[in-house]
Amino acid sequence: MKIPLEDIIPILRKAKVNLPEAFFKDLASKLGLPFLPYSKVKTLYQEEQKSKLITVLPTPS
């Protein structure tokens, strides 16, 4: 069974798989996307600086 790359995270979330932040960092690297640690994303949202977020992969909360 082939799973499209863009479906990996939604499938893992649906299965309630808890992944470390390092997984998302590695995945972003392999996809050529920037990575922000969850703490940085949370800070940007709290400071209402959402415009600084361009592409964000879901991270564990």
Q: Tens place of pLDDT for every residue, the chain, 61 residues?
A: 787 777 887 888 888 888 888 988 898 888 888 888 888 878 877 777 666 665 555 666 5
Residue at 54: amino acid letter: I
Domain locations along the chain: 5-52
Q: What is the pLDDT of residue 50?
A: 64
- Whole-angstrom Cα distance, residue 1 to residue 32? 25
- Residue 61, C-beta contacts closer than 8 angstroms, at least 6 positions apart: 38
Residue at 20: amino acid letter: P
Q: What is the pLDDT of residue 59?
A: 60
Q: What is the pLDDT of residue 46?
A: 78
The predicted model scores a pTM of 0.54
Q: How far is CA 48 from CA 20, 58, 59, in A?
A: 26, 18, 19
- Whole-angstrom Cα distance, residue 45 to residue 51? 9
3-state secondary structure of 3: coil
